[in-house]
Amino acid sequence: MGHCLMAFENRGVVGGITLRPVQNAVPPILYTLLALGTFRAAWAHPFSTAIGGETGDTFQNIWWLAWLAHAVQHGVNPLTTNYMDYPTGLNLMWNTSYPLVGLAMSPVTLALGPVFAFNATMTLAVILSAWSAWLLITRLTGHFVGALIGGLVYGFSPFMITQSLAHTQMTLVFMPPLIFLVLHEIVVRGRRRLLLGMLLGLLLAAQLLIGEEVLAITALGAVLFVVTGAAIEPDRMRERISELLPGGLVAGLTFAVAAAYPIYVQFFGSQRVQHATHPPNIYVSDAVSFLIPTQAQQFAPQQALAVTQRFSGNPFEWNSYLGLALLMLLGLIAYRQRRNPYIRVAASAAAVIAIWSLGVTVHIAGRDTHLPSFALSLVFLPGWRFLPVRVLVVTTFVGWAALWQLPLLDNLLPARLMLIAYLLIGVMLAIFVAAQAGRRRSAALITGALLAVVLIPLTPVLDFPAAPAAGPGFFQSPILSRIPEGSVALVVRIATQSHPQPLLWQANAGMRYRMNGGYAIVPAPPPNGVTFVPPHSAVGEAIAEAIAGRDPLASQVQRQAVSAELSAWHVRTVILGPMASQDRVRQMLASLIGGQPELDGGVWVWWDVA
């Protein structure tokens, strides 16, 4: 694209200095130190505390790792299971699992436990994401320091820090920069198209098995880049189309072959979902969220936090903070370097993505204005001299409509689109830094000071939370061998999103047993079509009644229903863990099962109840 292609021909040579292996080791080392520092609370006790909040999502992610390691160890299908939500089970392809990463981490999980493996996964996610962004930006700019800063902006962005509170699959984003890198090589350089097309297809298939939502976000970003680039430099892109098609066809064929079975499981396997998993226009970027820091930033005054508490959705999706200073600098870069095609593409695409992230309608400080978000595409009008305004407006509208009207895309949470915006911001800052190369020392000092002013407000919270993740000792003790492997255990309190601890217990137990509770996306009857709640059961109803202080077994009909359900499930073991109203529930279970339980490792256990 224009004169900027010169940077690519230099193959990483800037000012006559070739980037050396020792220098190339700096980014991963720096990112590793920063990641360990950010998550230091969990790494102080990596076997008993987990990175993030004490939420259902955290324990669910630990469960994914334990299940996938179990699947490897026993040679079973990792993509479907009834070890949770027994007997119907769940389809991992419809959930936030990350099968490829879980399978790769299985040696760590089996050797050191799922909690340690979870902490390692979360930490590596940040490191590898920052590093892959550095690789991409180094290729784009050839400037070491600029790429180092760009990788930092992507890997440690408010998006990554916020999602690290609970959503592992949204932090495993090291593939998008690599996908864009290969796509760039195909489109811009036009070499080894067939080989790179095959590599692109494999990367896309790998991302499918790491996180489908990130794959969808990446695909949207790629289409947006190509459309914007074609509109900005139509003659050059017209030349490249013929070179793009062969590589694109090979990529599509490779992806289809590599992803065929996972896609088959998702759309034709058991427990498939045929409904959007979240309501629309809830998990969106608030219009003021770009300006106001949240609890994920170190420098967030109480007045700002009071405003963020009114945002739509939940704190785990408030990931769009940029700050006024950074926005002003980006605007200055976009204006001063408006003839640079990469800046024009990056700035335009970032603006479109920010608008898409607002959702269906604009929210301001938590209030829905009912103004369609695509109307904000009018901000492109002042740039009509150097931007393809018509293309940008149409693209904004088409993407806006697709995100809440098209099947599958309506599962994507708009706020999460900001992932790509941070990558583009990293590219813009790197180009800005590279443009200062060779200038006087005073200019370098001013640039460094300016970057500090705009990036320090993005500093992650220093006391990043760590959740207790030990659980009762029973689940890691030799006495577990008394539970027949793969048998069904009734674990009380039954696992749900609001009471997820049994997921952690089962993971720590090495998936010794199946259980009927859980927290996962599963199909539900109309009109909802989808739920996160375990299937309704007489057993669950009886336990809820006992917790509320009522006698669920007073009715002979209900007693028979509960007994019949336990028999139909072939329950071999009943485990009563720490919970509210434990004594009442224990008395109810003793009356139902007959006989008194044993107290082992902090839980009450009825053995061989079948």
| pLDDT number for residue 246 | 87
Prior bond of 28 cis (ω within 30°): no
pLDDT at 9 > cutoff 60:
no
| pLDDT number for residue 426 | 98
pLDDT at 350 > cutoff 80:
yes
Structure confidence by residue, pLDDT tens digits, 452-480: 999 999 999 999 999 999 999 999 999 99
Structure confidence by residue, pLDDT tens digits, 499-531: 999 999 999 999 999 999 999 999 999 888 999
Neighbour-count burial of 583, counting CB atoms closer than 10 A to its CB (0-12 exposed, 13-18 middle, 19+ buried):
exposed
Structure confidence by residue, pLDDT tens digits, 414-431: 999 999 999 999 999 999
User: What's the CA gap between 32 and 42, in Å, rounded?
Assistant: 15
pLDDT at 608 > cutoff 60:
yes
Alpha-carbon torsion, ordered 276, 278, 279, 281, to 10 deg: -110
User: What's the CA gap between 289 and 159, in Å, rounded?
Assistant: 12
| pLDDT number for residue 351 | 98
Residues 258/264, Cβ–Cβ less than 8 Å? no
| pLDDT number for residue 113 | 98
Residues 177/135, Cβ–Cβ less than 8 Å? yes
pLDDT at 37 > cutoff 70:
yes
User: What's the CA gap between 260 and 275, in Å, rounded?
Assistant: 22
Structure confidence by residue, pLDDT tens digits, 296-342: 999 999 999 999 999 999 999 999 999 999 999 999 999 999 999 99
| pLDDT number for residue 19 | 58
- Please state the rounded mean pLDDT for residues 536-558: 92
Residues 560/575, Cβ–Cβ less than 8 Å? no
Residues 458/157, Cβ–Cβ less than 8 Å? yes
pLDDT at 13 > cutoff 60:
no
User: What's the CA gap between 566 and 561, in Å, rounded?
Assistant: 9
Nearest C-alpha neighbor of 86 from the set 545, 459, 486: 486
Which pLDDT band holds residue 239 (cuts at 50, 70, 90)?
A: confident
| pLDDT number for residue 274 | 87
Structure confidence by residue, pLDDT tens digits, 55-93: 999 999 999 999 999 999 999 999 999 999 999 999 999
Q: Bin 453: left if φ > 0, else alpha if -120 < ψ < 50, else beta.
A: alpha
Structure confidence by residue, pLDDT tens digits, 252-297: 999 999 999 999 999 999 999 988 899 999 999 999 999 999 999 9
The mean predicted confidence, pLDDT, of the chain is 93
| pLDDT number for residue 531 | 95
| pLDDT number for residue 438 | 73
DSSP string, 155-190: HTSHHHHHHTTT-GGGT--SHHHHHHHHHHIIIII-
Residues 392/345, Cβ–Cβ less than 8 Å? no
User: What's the CA gap between 530 and 540, in Å, rounded?
Assistant: 19
Least confident of 205-209, 443-447, 458-462: 443-447
Least confident of 120-129, 205-214, 377-386, 391-400: 377-386
**φ, ψ of residue 216 in degrees (nearest 5):** -65, -40
Amino acid at 215: L
DSSP 460: B
Residues 175/207, Cβ–Cβ less than 8 Å? yes
Task: Give the three-state DSSP class for 8.
Answer: helix
- Please state the rounded mean pLDDT for residues 31-54: 98
DSSP 461: P
| pLDDT number for residue 5 | 38
DSSP 107: H
| pLDDT number for residue 443 | 83
Tokens standing for residue 594: 């007959």
pTM (predicted TM-score): 0.94
pLDDT at 18 > cutoff 60:
no
Q: Please report, for the chain, the start and end positions of each structural domain, with discontinuous segments joined by +.
A: 2-458, 480-606
Handedness of CA 223, 228, 231, 237 (dihedral sign): negative
| pLDDT number for residue 384 | 81
